[in-house]
Amino acid sequence: PQLRERFQEVSGVNIINPETLEFLLFDDFNGLLGTFTLSGVTLPGMVVGLLLPLQSADYFTAMETYNVGLLTIVDIAEYAETWVGLGLLGSPTEFEKILLGGQGTLTAGEWWQGAFGGLDPLAGTYVEVGLNIGDHVGMAALSSEKADYILNDENIGLKTTFSRDFVYGELAGMSLPDENGVQSVWDDAYVANLYDIDEDSAAALRSWVGDFVFDVVMPVLITFLSGNTEYYSMPITHWLFGFSDAASAAFGFFPWVSLETNLTYYGSDGIGTGDFSVYKMSTAGETKGQRMAQGYINSDGDGLCDYDYDSNGDFIGVDLPCEEGQVYGMTEYLTWRAPHREEGALNLLSDHAGNTDTSLMGTIGGVSAPLASPNDPFLVNVAGYAIATSEVGEEVTFKGIPMVEHTVSLDPAQTQIQGKILGAGTWVDALPGALPVYLGADIDMKVEPISNAVMYGKVKVVFHLDMRGTGATDPVIGEDTMEVFEIHTFSEIADEDASDFNGQVTDNMGPFGWTNFGGSVGGTLAIISYVQALFYLLGIGLLGYGGIVMKDEDGN
């Protein structure tokens, strides 16, 4: 009875059932006075039971948790939330400091500003969630005014979007580029100058953001609130073609993700992956069969072009109204390395990717016909992830046909593909360690020198994951990385087609041999189509955006 009366006196809420009151106040995971530890982080019980439901106006969940009615939970919320000072249900409650022998009053916000970079205003000790923790105990001595500035300034406050810039600095060791594209070394001196504080306090602040909030608190909160775990397994079809990410869903983001792209996300009951891709191909001249540009066609029913360029090739913007079936965004570059993507990443993308090879002009591979110079190196589009250059090998005879060998070796250390997989369109694509996947490829080809057709192809593509965590760059492949996925494809001219080709071309190379158009093959284009299938498979990352039709000379 005393507990009920005391709680009623301070809160105005009368909880008659003793078990309900005991749970409301003292339950570790939900109680107003309860606490629990999750992966080393101490969390107040009311955060889970009361504050999180309040932020989404979910009173019903709070009613169920505490086993009380609507009016009672509203009264509890109005009492407890104002002590926390979130500003959801009223002005912050003021604590009378005379209760501890002091003078004046103190709100939760004022307490936090004092304890953040100095001593707890009530207890006179350092708090476990402030700057003076770990190796930095006693290093920070900030005034409440300075703490308020660091936390709440509209330009560089940590409670604003600038917190992302701060994290980038911690992970990259450099600031984001300024308006002139200049980056500065991100160190104690830089942060001290940024906030006009001493370097010891700056060191404590950097450790608090990077080592405590980013490395400890955020993972704990994300996994706790979403039910996700750091690692989990799934069928490969989901991993490749679609799964719903619980963490994204928990924070209100579009949850469906995939490594590769189909028409819809696998298992999503028809949720589309976006507009189809379109390609501009060369049909004549030295570039015959090669891709000249690529873009998209508005086909997902949203009435928007995701982005576009004007007639001069200048970037216009994103989410532009456009007609159904309108082609847009045509560019000669890999779509994830196009100029507007580089600009969106503050010109950090190429350096992060490890190469500047972005143009599709003159490439084979993907959906391009495999027509290439036999005696010169040529460019290969590796599944839309990268551009590689072939190395000319020896002259060989394969199935009775003289050919020239070509090999491609794509160095994973110089091919970081995080920007393609994330597709954020911002500097997050170049955030060190956000999704540290590196692509390696070994490709063997044989080119027939008369038709310039690739008649043999063997491909191995390997995805390497840097296991060192966020902030790590320049991995030693095989030591710092682990192979997480491989794609193997193989194709060659069929025996019968090789025999026909020999009959039509190789054995008819006299002065007028080129006039022989007879035989059952229907020309070299039909033969090309067999090895072209290899490059369609190699271009698996692009096929899902749209239908691609292969035709022979008869239109079949």
Q: What are the b/e assignments for 25-63, b being 16+ CB within 10 Å?
A: bebebbbbebebeeeebebbbbbbbbbebbeeeeeeebb
Q: Where are the beta strands (DSSP E) in 467-548?
A: 481-492
Q: CA-CA distance, 468 to 480, in Å (whole number)?
A: 7
- Measured in degrees and rounded to the nearest 5, phi and psi for residue 513 equal -60, -25
Measured between alpha carbons, how far is residue 203 from residues 187, 211, 516 in Å?
A: 8, 11, 79
* Residue that has been written with the tokens 């084979």 in this structure: 364
Map tokens 């298992």 to a residue. 267
d(CA 82, CA 312): 57
pLDDT per residue as tens, the chain (556 positions): 689 999 999 999 999 999 999 999 999 999 999 988 877 778 888 888 898 888 888 899 999 999 999 999 999 999 998 888 878 888 888 888 888 888 899 999 999 999 999 999 999 999 999 999 999 999 999 999 999 999 999 999 999 999 999 999 999 999 999 999 999 999 999 999 999 999 999 999 999 999 999 998 888 888 887 887 777 788 888 878 888 988 888 888 889 988 777 789 999 999 998 999 888 888 777 777 777 888 999 999 899 999 999 988 889 999 999 999 999 999 999 989 999 999 999 999 999 999 999 998 888 875 555 678 899 999 998 988 999 999 999 999 999 999 999 999 999 999 999 999 888 899 999 999 999 999 999 999 999 998 888 899 999 999 999 999 889 999 999 999 999 888 888 888 889 888 888 876 655 444 333 333 333 333 333 444 444 444 444 443 333 323 333 333 333 3
72 neighbors 15 (Cβ within 8 angstroms): yes
Beta strands in 4-147 (DSSP E): 35-38, 41-44, 95-96, 105-106
By C-alpha distance, which of 369, 368, 359 is closest to 332? 359
pLDDT computed for residue 506 by the predictor:
56
* 3-class DSSP state of 56: coil
What integer pLDDT is reported at residue 543 of this predicted model?
A: 33
Indicate the residue type of 546. Answer: G
pLDDT of residue 507: 52
Chain center to CA of 87: 33
Domain-wise residue ranges, the chain: 2-222, 346-543
Alpha helices in 349-447 (DSSP H): 349-353, 418-422
Structural tokens at position 263: 């028409």
The bridge status of strand 391-398 relative to strand 315-321 is unpaired
Q: How far apart are the first and last CA of the chain?
A: 88
CA distance 190 to 50: 40
Task: Give percent helix, percent strand, percent coil of the chain, each to the nearest 5.
Answer: 35, 20, 40
329 and 308 in contact (C-beta within 8 Å)?
A: yes
Q: Running DSSP on this structure, what letter comes out for residue 142?
A: -
